[in-house]
Structure 1
Amino acid sequence: MSEHKVTALVTGASAGLGAEFCRQLAPLCDVIIAVARRKEKLDALASELADSAEVRCLEADLGTVEGVAITMEAIRQQGPVDYLVNNAGFSTFGHFDQLPIDGQRDMVNLHIDACITLCRAAIPFMRELGSGRIINVSSLGTFFPGKGMAVYGASKAFLNYYSQALQAELAGSGIEVQALCPGFTHTEFHDSMAEDGFDRSRIPDQMWMNADAVVAASLAALGNGQVLVVPGDDNVDLARAGLQRQLDDL
């Protein structure tokens, strides 16, 4: 039997948090399966990390059935994966009744359907291995239901509940589940939202974090039994305030 290679699979790996997860996981892994739509970005990342880990670039659109199937097959053929990072995502911006429904449905498919499908593909192999780490990238916005991002926030709130319930089901298996809830982060994420009217300048500078700090907080929290991880002390305070506001509405 061949020696197991420590392997991570990261979706949305071409930029932002996904690329940063690959960078910070590289010293911990032998192999990183980097999944994204932009092959040229993946190739550049593979070159950057060549001295740290073997990066296998997988061009796939997880918003499609074919893309999910390709990624599931990578888990089967190249796994078991020790780390599964479900990071791929996007958001529209605007009132729900004024936005095309296709974009809202696409978010649900990507944030929820793709995530649970890849988890279902990876977990049996993790059970055989006796360990594994699943990180589902959620959002600080789940603690503040509000205007402009109704379906985005709702789909990410699903990941919080799902991750907590999944961790309870996997207790004693050696598999750890985390829902990472970052706040405003300096990445490409808000570019498309800006086209729809999102104004970065309205967000105070102190509320923004860099991707490396967000990922470092996520990885540092592994092993402590915490499912919901909110990077940044100020963001933790905001999340608690948001939860309290929801409780006050009861």
Structure 2
Amino acid sequence: MPSLLENKVVIISGVGPGMGQAMARIAAAEGAKVGLGARNRDFIDAVAGEIRASGGEAVAVPTDVGDAGQCAALAKATADAFGRIDGLVNTAYIHGEWVTVDEADPEDWAKVFDVNCLGALRMTQAVLPAMKAAGGGAVVNVATMSQVNPFPGEGGYATAKGGLTTMTRHMAKDLGRFNIRVNATRMGWIGGKPVYDYIDRAAAGGQDRDAVIGEITARIPLGVIPPEEDCAKSVLFFLSDYAKMVTGATLDVNGGQYMAP
């Protein structure tokens, strides 16, 4: 049976220590050739090296999605290495200040919007020539549950991601004529390094570790913090041929914590 992403060329922006690196490894294991983009050169070089050591193919290009030229460089390096681009996952983000809206700095919100929403636009525009030449492709924009289930301090982050899901529908409408599909995922808690670092900090501050985890999982019907590998697979599904007739959709990936009406 063919692998999920066999013979596809996929770019993942924002390959950091959380779900991004898991997604890169899983995409490669599922048969994709992978272009990795993030600001941390050492990190993406290490992930690319691990993929190659496991028999996969990967290129790594330092990329700040706030810079259209760097987005174009990632797209070019990937297309030059592998001959085409079939898929893109826009997962690069910054969080911004953890403050309530009454204390928010509009300039901070603008920076967050520039990376989280406009960065996805820049990266998508960068891959369009290659996708058009290939006869189509798929884009996935990674958003957050916090845009529909507000979490204190995440106003700027969630607002930018809300813009991203709105942009997803417009992208799907505008790019469908090129056989390019665009979908989004709204992520909840993701059981990876960033979340477990948060739990460790809470424990170091005197809170009971099990109680902190229990407070999180009590709100999740499946009863666990969704593992990053399982979350990554839900995102990658949209790049596969199993989703060939799906575009303009938003998938909630949160263990049931938020269920869209």
TM-score range, shorter chain: 0.7 to 0.9
SS of 2:34's equivalent in the other structure is strand
Choose which of 77, 99, 112 in structure 1 pairs with 2:117.
112
Q: What residue in structure 2 maps to residue 208 of structure 1?
A: 225
Equivalent residue letter for 1:213:
D
Equivalent residue letter for 1:87:
T
TM-score (norm 2): 0.77
1:140 counterpart = 2:160: no
TM-score (norm 1): 0.80
Choose which of 27, 40, 43 in structure 2 pairs with 1:41.
43
Identity %: 18
Equivalent-residue separation in structure 2 for 1:232 and 1:95 (angstroms):
23
Larger deviation: 51-60 or 12-21?
51-60
Do the aligned partners of residues 181 and 143 (structure 1) sit closer, same or farther apart at CA in structure 2, a change above 3 Å counting? same
1:225 counterpart = 2:242: no
SS of 1:15's equivalent in the other structure is coil
Q: What residue in structure 2 maps to residue 163 of structure 1?
A: 168
Question: Are the equivalent residues in 2 in contact too, given 1:184–1:207 (CA < 8 A)?
Answer: no
SS of 1:134's equivalent in the other structure is strand
1:129 counterpart = 2:134: yes
> Please, which runs of 5 or more residues in structure 1 have no aligned partner?
245-250
Q: What residue in structure 2 maps to residue 31 of structure 1?
A: 33
Equivalent-residue separation in structure 2 for 1:218 and 1:168 (angstroms):
20
Question: Are the equivalent residues in 2 in contact too, given 1:90–1:189 (CA < 8 A)?
Answer: no
Equivalent-residue separation in structure 1 for 2:119 and 2:11 (angstroms):
13
Q: What residue in structure 2 maps to residue 13 of structure 1?
A: 15
Question: Are the equivalent residues in 2 in contact too, given 1:183–1:207 (CA < 8 A)?
Answer: no
Equivalent-residue separation in structure 1 for 2:55 and 2:179 (angstroms):
26
Q: Deviations over 1:96-147 (max 9, x none)?
A: 3435555333211110121101111212321221121111110111212453
Aligned length: 231
Q: What residue in structure 1 maps to residue 4 of structure 2?
A: none
Equivalent residue letter for 1:129:
A
Equivalent-residue separation in structure 1 for 2:9 and 2:176 (angstroms):
22
Q: What residue in structure 1 maps to residue 90 of structure 2?
A: 86
Shift of 1:25: 1.1
Q: Deviations over 1:179-227 (max 9, x none)?
A: 1111111234455899899x99242262521111111122234335152
Q: Deviations over 1:151-177 (max 9, x none)?
A: 111111111111112112222432111
Equivalent residue letter for 2:16:
S
Q: What residue in structure 1 maps to residue 259 of structure 2?
A: 239
1:53 counterpart = 2:56: yes
Equivalent residue letter for 1:15:
P
SS of 2:187's equivalent in the other structure is coil
Question: Are the equivalent residues in 2 in contact too, given 1:94–1:148 (CA < 8 A)?
Answer: yes
The root-mean-square deviation of aligned C-alpha atoms, in Å, is 2.9
Question: Are the equivalent residues in 2 in contact too, given 1:8–1:81 (CA < 8 A)?
Answer: yes
Equivalent-residue separation in structure 1 for 2:9 and 2:103 (angstroms):
43
Larger deviation: 129-138 or 37-46?
37-46
Do the aligned partners of residues 224 and 216 (structure 1) sit closer, same or farther apart at CA in structure 2, a change above 3 Å counting? farther
Equivalent residue letter for 1:218:
V
> Please, which runs of 5 or more residues in structure 2 have no aligned partner?
1-6
Equivalent residue letter for 1:230:
D
